[in-house]
Amino acid sequence: MRVDIVTVFPDMVRQAAGASILGRAQASGKIELHVHDLRDYAANRHRSTDDAPFGGGAGMVMLPAPLFACVEAITGGAENVPVIYTAPDGEPFTQSVARELSAEARIIILCGHYEGVDERVRQSLVTREISIGDYVLTGGELPALVILDAVTRLLPDVLGNAASPHEESFGSGEPGAEVLLEYPQYTRPADFRGMVVPEVLQNGHHAKIMHWRRTQSLIRTRERRPDLFAKMLPLSKSDQKLLDAHDAEKSF
C-alpha cells in the first residue's frame, strides 16, 4: 500500500512515522510512505501556502494552488486515488473506516492548518474528510499519523502472527460487527505488591479463560461505553448468561 502525506511540517511526520511498527512496516515493504512538503509547490519565492480569507476574519486559509499542484504531481494524472482531508468537521474516524482505507492500493492525506483549506479544495480535490475527534488541534499532522498507524497495523503480516487485532477493543471494525472493549491483560509476576493475577488465567483451562475474557469485555463495555453496549442489545443467550452469573456473584 502506498500512502502520500502532504504537509507544511514534513519532518514532524517523517520522524514519527519512522519509529516502531510504522518504521518496520516501511522497512519490510508492507507500506510505502511518501511525505511531501507543500511549500515545494508554492508559486512565489516566499513559498507561501496560506493567505488571508475573503470577507475578513481572524486567521489564515491554505491556498488552493499549492494543494492542487501537489496532488496532481503525486497522482500523475491517475484517477480514483482517494484524497483524504483531516478536518474537525469530517466523518468520525472509526475502526471500520480504518479497515476500508486499508483495502485501498493507495491514499493521499492532506494535513490542514490555520483556519483550514480553501473550500474549492474540499469541493473539487478531496474525496473524503475525516475527523479523529471532537476537539481542535494545531494542524492535521497528528490526525494523519493516527490514520496512518490505524491503517498500517491492519495490513497483512504487519503485526506478525502473535498479534490479534480482532481481539482488541473495537474488534474487526467490520460493518455490523459487535464492538466490545478488550478484556484486562496481565503478565508476570503473578503477585505484584499484593495485586494478584486472577486465578482463572493461571490454571491453563482454555475454555474457562475464554469465558472469563468474554465476561470481562462485556462488563468493561457496559461500564465504560454504554453507548456501544446498547448497540449489542438484546444480548445473545450465552452473553446474558455470563453477565447474569457475574452480577449474581457480585451481589453476595
pLDDT per position as a tens digit, 66-99: 999 999 999 998 889 999 999 989 999 999 999 9
pLDDT, tens digit, 9 for 90 and up, residues 42-71? 988 889 999 999 999 889 999 999 999 999
Nearest by Cα to 113 from 135, 93, 141, 133: 141
Higher per-residue pLDDT: 252 or 85? 85
For the ranges 25-29, 55-59, 116-120, 166-170, which has the lowest average pLDDT?
Answer: 166-170
Q: Using alpha carbons, list the distances in angstroms from residue 200 to 35, 171, 204, 240.
A: 48, 23, 8, 20
> 3-state SS of the chain: helix, strand, coil percent to 5?
40, 15, 40
Q: Is the pLDDT of residue 162 over 50?
A: no
Arithmetic mean of pLDDT, 128-157? 96
The C-alpha atoms of residue 101 and residue 151 are separated, in whole angstroms, by 7
Q: Is the pLDDT of residue 167 over 60?
A: no
139: β partners: 113
Predicted model pTM: 0.87
What local confidence, expressed as pLDDT, does residue 112 receive? 94
pLDDT, tens digit, 9 for 90 and up, residues 101-113? 999 999 999 999 9
The percent of residues in the chain predicted with pLDDT above 70, rounded, is 93
- Domains in the chain, ordered, with CATH? 2-152 (3.40.1280.10), 178-250 (1.10.1270.20)
pLDDT, tens digit, 9 for 90 and up, residues 200-239? 999 999 999 999 999 999 999 999 999 999 999 999 999 9
What local confidence, expressed as pLDDT, does residue 154 receive? 97
pLDDT, tens digit, 9 for 90 and up, residues 12-34? 999 999 999 999 999 999 999 99
The C-alpha atoms of residue 11 and residue 35 are separated, in whole angstroms, by 9
